[in-house]
Amino acid sequence: MNKVVLITGAAKGIGKAIALELAKNGYDIVINYLTSRKEADNLASTIRNIFKVRCIAIQADVSSEQEVDAMISEIENKLGGVDILINNAAVDLSNMFHLKTADEFRRTLDVNVVGAYNCAKRVYRHMLDNEDGVIINISSTNGMNTYYPMCFDYDASKAALNSLTHDLAVQFSPYIRVNAIAPGFIGTEKELDGYDDKFLKEEIDKIMVKRYGKPEDVAYLVKFLISPEASFINNTIIRIDGGQMGSV
């Protein structure tokens, strides 16, 4: 029986790349989404048709305990439970400091941090029962020491997610490994469409390998970290940023 992987925020970008890479390697996939129903359904259909694994798409706001509970219950009924959790769902409500609102700040924390907590809390019992499980939190170098004033709430949320990673690793040991991946500049559709050429060049100049990352770069690392070959990697934050200068 294939292991079941729940990937939150998986209809596009990094989450989509992770879903495709893990399906290619024989994992059953659950695509969580909030608003991108068409993209999620198309991705699920593609995965089932090409890779011949089980794959379903489920709408849920991860910041809501009730919606997460309903999502995991559906997974348990249809697929047996979540063996591997990838907390990828996130929002980045970038805005100038003087225009940022407390509601925007709360929403960022609710999705990026509380959402990861809600999902981990709901799936860990199944993992403990099996004495085996992996949780990967998709963080960011923004939560370490690469900061942008327009997204200080996002930066704070990713720093909090790193802290949550360590706490969950201690809480769930020895059977559940919990790690975080901290990508630098990844060229998702959203990132490339959101900035002008001047900004992109400035960002690439900061990266030692002189290119921005691809979503697949993150997916390859996820594939390794959930594998038996990574069974001694736990309670750590792994940067994947091409040697981003100023990020140490």
Asked if 178 and 163 touch (Cβ cutoff 8 Å), the reply is no
Residues facing 216 on adjacent strands: none
Residue with tokens 């769902």: 89
Query: Which residues are catalytic, by number?
Result: 154
N-term to C-term CA, the chain? 41
- Count of CB atoms within 10 A of residue 153's CB? 24
Residues whose CB falls within 8 Å of the CB of residue 123, separated by 6 or more in sequence, listed in order: 6, 72, 81, 82, 85, 133, 135
Residue with tokens 């403990």: 128
Residues whose CB falls within 8 Å of the CB of residue 63, separated by 6 or more in sequence, listed in order: 107, 110, 111, 114, 115, 118
Give CA–CA dist 175/173, Å, rounded.
5
The helix/strand/coil state of 162 is helix
Identify the CA nearest to 244 among candidates 164, 141, 174, 159. Answer: 141
Give CA–CA dist 56/58, Å, rounded.
7
Give CA–CA dist 209/204, Å, rounded.
8
